[in-house]
Amino acid sequence: MLPGYSTARFHGSGELVDVYGAEQLSPRRPVLLTVLQQPLTSDEERERFRAAADQMALVSAHPSVLTVLQASVAVDGRPYIVSERCIGNIAENGRVMTVAEVLALGVRIGSALETLHRAGVLHGGVRPPHLLVTPYGSVVLAASGLAAALDLDAVPSPEDVWTAPEVRAGGALDVAADVHGLGATLRSMLGGEPAPAPLRRVLDRATSHDPGRRHGSSLELVLELREAQSALGHPLTPIEVALDGTRPIDARVLAALHPEDPGGPRGMRLASWALLAAAVAAIAVGASTFAALDRGADVGIPAVEGVRAVTDGGSIEFSWDDPGLEEGDRFQARLDGGVPQLLDAPRYVVEVVEGETVCLSVVVNRDGRLGEPSEPHCAASSS
């Protein structure tokens, strides 16, 4: 037994870990002990464990990440993590979620994943059993990045629908693999019920067999889930991504974090910090992103013309010619009037259902200043 804790009660085993319930003796509180099954055998492994544990502790302050209380190595060489106690996971008892619940869950856990990725942590195991329920009913992401940091590879079972196909084939974990895991998790929580078109389009992209067609980041997935919330008439779930003052604020986040969002004080505080940070950034560069959204096209920024589309079964690829971008310029694409997406390449792929028609317009974004938008180009999926 570990010093400082009462006798542990075995809860179960995962692919790489054993989980126990225990009580911390001082201060007294119920906790979870997650112990890796494989002991550390070298100084290098122990150093990597400490570094990974430090990273996880930093991101565990996120409201949708399991809180890490302690990390160490037992006398038998096995590393362990002490975390807040949870009462189960979202997959227990065959629970099925509504579309509204799936969308809200996706935004919250996607925000948590984005926070992990910004801290340099890959999760590598996003799936329903790793989404735990606290005694207060909140859902938190259990940190699985420790095994990834130690290069401990579990062998996916034939029933594993959450691991990305390229990882199942022996490829390395990356952001795209985590995006796939979240998309597959959200789909599974619908319990086999068909998703409405706005949500289905997002999930199809997130779980695409081709990693290059998935969302480029967890944040991009979150923004599209909020777009689906808006299209379906559901309340918008606040984005919860730390603003550390050192990283440029994505224009899409500024568009998504506005004070009229529901979600209570947390969402309002985050929106306020985003606005404050945006104001500081505007002073530094001499231009405001928000001002660019409200004024006409900025003279001197090239305009995109001739958007075209190619339909291939359940997907439509929009493309256009480079009008002469300068260093730092990006394309900003808007699908059916939804949340704008920032792109580096002159192409945008969207997954659609049979008979669905979507329209895209594109504008050049130069440090938050916008050029003349293209005429919307509409295309329908092939039958």
List, in order, residues 6 or more apart from 26 with CB less than 8 Å away: 4
pLDDT value for 14:
66
Structural domain ending residue among the three candidates 235, 256, 272? 235
* Residue range 134-157: mean pLDDT, rounded: 67
For 315-351, what is each residue's pLDDT tens digit? 889 999 999 998 888 888 887 756 567 788 899 888 7
In a domain, 102, yes or no: yes
What CATH number did the domain enclosing 55 receive? 3.30.200.20
Higher pLDDT among residues 148 and 329, named by residue: 329
Q: How far apart are CA 300 and CA 306, in angstroms?
A: 19
- The model's pLDDT over 73-82, given as tens digits with 9 standing for 90+, comes to 888 888 888 9
Q: Residue 232 contacts by C-beta under 8 Å, 6 or more apart in sequence? A: 99, 100, 103, 196, 198, 199
Over residues 194-217, the mean pLDDT reads: 95
Residue 158 reports pLDDT greater than 80: no
* 167, part of any domain: yes
State what percent of residues in the chain have pLDDT above 90: 31
Q: Give the orientation angle of helix 175-188 with respect to helix 197-206, to 10 degrees.
A: 140
Examine the fold and report which residue of 84, 101, 119 is the final residue of a domain before the chain moves on.
Answer: 84
Same domain, 63 and 140: no
Tell whether 183 is covered by a domain.
Answer: yes
- Residue 196 falls within a domain, yes or no? yes
Place of tokens 């130069």: 366
**CATH no. for residue 107?**
1.10.510.10
pLDDT, average across residues 94-122: 91
Q: CA-CA-CA-CA torsion for 218, 134, 123, 39, nearest 10 degrees?
A: 170
203 in a structural domain: yes
Environment class of residue 253 by beta-carbon count within 10 Å: exposed (0-12), middle (13-18) or buried (19+)? buried
Please indicate, yes or no, whether residues 59 and 137 belong to a single structural domain of this protein.
no
- Residue 260's pLDDT band (cuts 50, 70, 90): very low
Asked whether residue 162 falls in the same domain as residue 67, the answer is: no
Tell me what pLDDT residue 87 has. 84
Number of domains in the chain: 4
- Supply the pLDDT for residue 189: 94
pLDDT at 141: 92
The reported pLDDT for the residue numbered 185 is: 96
pTM, full prediction: 0.63
Amino acid letter for position 175: V
Mean pLDDT for 307-313 is 89
Domain harbouring 332, CATH code: 2.60.40.10
| Paired tokens of 339 | 């949340």
Q: DSSP string of 135-196?
A: TTS-EEEPP-HHHHHTT-PPPPPTT--SS-HHHHTTPPP-HHHHHHHHHHHHHHTTTTPPPP
Structure tokens at 133: 């329920």
For the record, the structure tokens of 254 come out as 């500024």
Tokens of 122: 């890959």
Residues 174, 255, single domain; the answer is no
For residues 69 and 153, state if they share a domain.
no
Model pLDDT, residue 89: 87
The pLDDT mean for the chain works out to 78
Among 46, 35, 48, smallest CA distance to 78 is for: 35
Residue 2 lies in a domain: no
Candidates 13, 15, 18; CA nearest to 2 is: 18
| pLDDT band, residue 267 (cuts 50/70/90) | very low
Range of the domain at 127: 88-235
- Which tokens is 327 given? 């260093």
What is residue 364's three-state secondary structure?
A: strand
Pairing between β-strand 330-335 and β-strand 315-319 as defined by DSSP bridges: unpaired
Q: 42 and 30 in contact (C-beta within 8 Å)?
A: no
- Looking at the structure, do residues 79 and 92 belong to the same domain, yes or no? no
Same domain (yes/no): 113, 179: yes
Range scoring the smallest mean pLDDT among 42-46, 235-239, 255-259: 255-259
Do 211 and 252 share a structural domain? no
CB distance 102 to 137 below 8 Å: no
Which of 42, 66, 84 is at the close of a domain? 84
Q: Are residues 80 and 98 in the same domain?
A: no
Instruction: Provide the terminal-to-terminal Cα distance of the chain, rounded to the nearest Å.
Output: 63
For 20, the 3-state DSSP assignment is strand
Work out the average pLDDT over 30-40.
85
In this structure, are 129 and 201 located in the same domain? Answer: yes
- On whether residue 147 sits in a domain, the answer given is yes
pLDDT attached to residue 183:
97
Tokens standing for 367? 């440090």
Q: Examine the domain organization and report whether 147 and 167 are in the same domain.
A: yes
Q: Which of 68-72, 217-221, 255-259, 337-341 shows the lowest mean pLDDT across its residues? A: 255-259
Q: Is residue 298 part of a domain?
A: no
Model pLDDT, residue 3: 83
* 75 and 199 share one domain: no
Residue 383 has pLDDT above 70, yes or no: no
